[in-house]
Amino acid sequence: MNIKTKKALDKYIKEHGNVVVYFYAGWCKPCEDAGRFLRAAEPFLRKMLNLKIVKLNTDKILWEELNAMEASTLPDVRLYHAGKLVTNRTGLVIYDMEENK
């Protein structure tokens, strides 16, 4: 998928409705961690929830377009339902289930 503008992203979300948008960068360690989680969850998200997943490498998008997309903190994961933003999460919080039993 080659989305590099806000206009193209908005069009994709409008056409597909239920979308996860993941902004990341190759140099971003928390992005690597979030990416591993998203890759593990991807089959479930696609098959069971019928979500489309858009992964956008911010290193390959012009700064002006990132500003228009309001993607300034990484990682940034956004969930859209019926084309509307439902929730987003920036940064990464690791929750250790073993430690918090």
Contacts of 95 (CB under 8 A, 6+ apart): none
What is the reported pTM?
0.86
List pLDDT tens digits, range 45-96: 889 889 999 999 999 999 999 999 999 899 999 999 999 999 999 987 655 5
Let me know if residue 28 belongs to a domain. yes
Helices (H), the chain: 6-16, 29-47, 63-69
Contacts of 81 (CB under 8 A, 6+ apart): 17, 18
Is the per-residue pLDDT at 2 higher than 90? no
List pLDDT tens digits, range 36-54: 989 999 999 889 889 999 9
Alpha-carbon distance 55 to 63, whole Å? 17
The number of folded domains in the chain is 1
Let me know if residue 33 belongs to a domain. yes
Look up the domain containing 86 and give its range.
Answer: 6-90
